[in-house]
Amino acid sequence: MTEVSRKVSITEPRAITAKLKVQAKKINFKKNNEFKSITMEHLKSTLTICFAMIFLISCTEKSKTKVNRPTLKKEIMERTGYTEETYSKVYKYYWVTEDTSDLKFDVYERKADSTVMFSSEHHKQIDFAVLLDSVNGAFTKINSDFDLSKLESLIFKQPLYYPDLNRELSQAYEARYGKVAVDYPTLQQFLLSAPITLKINTFLKPLNKKVKSYSIEKFHLLSLEQIKKFYPDMQFENDPDFTLFGSGIYVELENKVE
């Protein structure tokens, strides 16, 4: 073999190898671009699906909120015996929700003078502030059935049914009188000067009413040990070691004079 032919035979494989490397790089570059393109498209699709799911969940939650919105129901109560003799009508109102509570409102209209009495009815504990908000939300409907300008009295359960009120009253009472039951006139003055009066007066402001007096029949102090014994299903965490006890809180109202 001549010298020239040897050079050609050595050079050609090198040239071919170089060309193959260039082509391989081009192919790899093309594949990488295609992979990146596919990855971006996949990412875009995934993000689109995620946003769509978030939107659907949001709409579903809004829909649930609308469906579960509480509605106020009314029952016209049957009047018998004393109730029939004394009252011209008695209605019961209650909120209906997904987890309907046992909170109900009884409203009475007297035959003699058309004055109105309001009573809250429930077996479970509820904060007094929540109770007033619930009553306030029902007043528009109640006012269409009764003349609330003639609202004369409110009746609430014993303080222990309202954890926030119970703590407030017991602490203020102990600071002033210790753990000794006072007489009714003193109790009257205590309640009129307690924060409960401000809360009820604020609640009654749209009706131009205010608290005139209080009454807690059979008033006495009940120790925390006795409360837990008589009311085992109630919660009394962080509560004082006694409560103002009796047969409910009767609140007499009067018109507010500007």
Pick from 53, 68, 83: which residue ends a domain? 68
pLDDT at 255 > cutoff 50: yes
Q: How far apart are CA 90 and CA 108, in angstroms?
A: 5
For residues 41 and 90, state if they share a domain: no
Q: Which residues contact 155 (CB under 8 A, 6 or more apart)?
A: 117, 118, 119, 120, 248, 249, 250, 251
What confidence tens digit (pLDDT) does each residue in 123-132 have?
A: 999 999 999 9
Q: What H or E segment, with its residue span, contains residue 116?
A: strand 116-121
Q: Mean of the per-residue pLDDT values for the chain?
A: 81
Task: Let me know whether 38 and 82 are in one domain.
Answer: no
Residues 6 or more apart in contact with residue 223 via CB below 8 angstroms: 241, 242
With b meaning 16 or more CB within 10 Å and e meaning fewer, what string describes 239-253?
A: bbebbbbbebbbbeb
Single out the residue of 240, 119, 236 nearest to residue 168, CA to CA: 240
Q: Which domain holds residue 34?
A: 1-68
Lowest mean pLDDT among 18-22, 142-146, 199-203, 235-239: 18-22
53/173 same-domain check: no
Within this chain, do residues 61 and 112 fall inside the same structural domain, yes or no? no
- Ramachandran region of residue 248, left (φ > 0), alpha (ψ -120 to 50) or beta? left
| Residue 238 region by backbone torsions, left for phi larger than 0, else alpha for psi between -120 and 50, else beta | left
171 and 246 in a single domain? The answer is yes
**pLDDT at 15 (0 to 100):** 52
Overall average pLDDT of the 1-10 stretch: 43
Over residues 154-160, mean pLDDT: 96
If asked whether residues 55 and 103 sit together in one domain, one would say no
252 pLDDT above the threshold of 70: yes
Model confidence band, residue 237 (pLDDT cutoffs 50, 70, 90) = confident
Percent of the chain with pLDDT over 90: 60
The region of weakest confidence among 20-34, 76-90, 163-177 is 20-34
Is the model more confident about 45 or about 163?
163
Q: Of 34, 68, 102, which residue constitutes the final position of a domain?
A: 68
Do 50 and 99 lie in one domain? The reply is no
> What pLDDT was estimated at residue 7?
42
Nearest to 172 by CA among 153, 154, 189, 155: 189
Tokens describing residue 137? 């939300």
Q: Within this chain, do residues 205 and 236 fall inside the same structural domain, yes or no? A: yes
At 70, is the pLDDT very low, low, confident or very high (cuts 50, 70, 90)?
confident
Quote the number of domains for the chain. Answer: 2
Query: In this structure, are 91 and 107 located in the same domain?
Result: yes
Residues 46 and 111 in one domain: no
| Domain match, 244 and 146 both | yes
How many CB atoms lie under 10 A from the CB of residue 225?
Answer: 10
Q: Is the dihedral of CA 82, 220, 155, 104 positive or negative?
A: negative
Boundary of a domain, candidates 68, 86, 104: 68
**Same domain as 63, residue 75:** no
Looking at this protein, which amino acid is placed at residue 109? E
Q: Is 157 exposed, middle or buried (0-12, 13-18, 19+ CB in 10 A)?
A: buried
